[in-house]
Amino acid sequence: MKITIEVDCTPEEARSFMGLPDVSGANSVYVDTITKAMQGVSNPDQLQQYAQALAPMGQVGLKLFQSFVEGGMKAAQGGSGGSKSSE
């Protein structure tokens, strides 16, 4: 038997229901800071330096986020890690 439940709610309602804090104020400050820092960026290297300086936990945070995304992609592919097993 398979049961499917569909919940129609806004992101704010979902955060409240799950007991997560409202971080919209902190997010707006973070986005404003990045926007101001990116004004005048003339090349990709300069943009990367800004991103590393402004990212939470610096380079460690970027690496952690990258590994999180890669793990999610592997899980979405069936946990095979991109390699096909013999059928």
User: Is the model's pTM score more than 0.75?
Assistant: no
Q: Alpha-carbon distance 61 to 46, whole Å?
A: 19
Q: 36-83: per-residue pLDDT in tens?
A: 766 776 677 776 776 666 666 666 766 777 777 777 777 777 655 444
Q: 1-23: per-residue pLDDT in tens?
A: 999 999 899 988 988 888 888 88
The sign of the dihedral angle between the CA atoms of 45, 61, 16, 21 is: negative
